[in-house]
Chain A
């Protein structure tokens, strides 16, 4: 089945530094990837939709200059949290939408836990 990986799985960084999270579709091409953020005890929040070869579409309230998304290839999207602050500590999940499937489904990565000290 389709597999999506995320790297790193956990990262701890100091306030003010930048962190890059990778999302890869391992055995299929993903023209569209989604980035979500999970707040404690709450539902997922869609941050942005990433389309290969074009600029990401950000949801309202998400700072595009702080959360940089790059979808440079059909198998890789990256999320960079710039100048991270403790309030950015969260669980970030990506998912990938396979371009040619009949079931119109997305495949989720395992998530990345970011802790900003």
Chain B
């Protein structure tokens, strides 16, 4: 069974400071990895996926297979980045798939 770990439950940074939200996964195959974000009292939404290698709202995430990590980074935090962030590996194969969510990290950006 795969497992995903987000070691920080709460992360507070000052506005303009760099941000790194950690995510480690335990999986024997080659998962597809996602970051989801939930702003206060809003629905969960997809932030980015590793296969697209895109930058959304200034966030990037690189899959490091050696370290089995998929940390989310942003060079300069903004107040509007305050939210809950969930890392989620997707296991797929033989026509089936399963998405596993981490417990989430609450990012608080201090003005």
Contact = CB atoms under 8 A, between A and B. Distances in A.
A40 B92 CA distance: 9
A111 B103 contact: no
Given A1-B103, A104-B40, A105-B106, A113 B98 contact: yes
A105 B84 contact: yes
Interface in B34-65: 34, 36, 38, 40-41, 43-46
A113 B99 CA distance: 10
Nearest to B34: A43
A91 B96 CA distance: 9
A64 B17 CA distance: 45
Contacts of B38: 106
Contacts of B104: 105-106
Interface string A1-41: 10000000000000000000000000000000010101011
Interface residues of B, number: 25
Interface size classification for chain A: 20 to 34
Nearest to B100: A110
B10 to A, nearest CB: 7
A3 to B, nearest CB: 10
Interface of A: 1, 34, 36, 38, 40-41, 43-44, 46, 91, 93, 95, 103-108, 110-111, 113
Interface of B: 9-10, 32, 34, 36, 38, 40-41, 43-46, 84, 86, 90, 92, 96-101, 103-104, 106
Given A38-B99, A46-B43, 5 more contacts: A41-B92, A43-B36, A44-B99, A46-B44, A93-B101
14 contacts: A1-B103, A34-B44, A40-B92, A41-B32, A43-B46, A44-B46, A93-B101, A95-B44, A103-B84, A104-B41, A106-B38, A106-B44, A107-B103, A113-B96
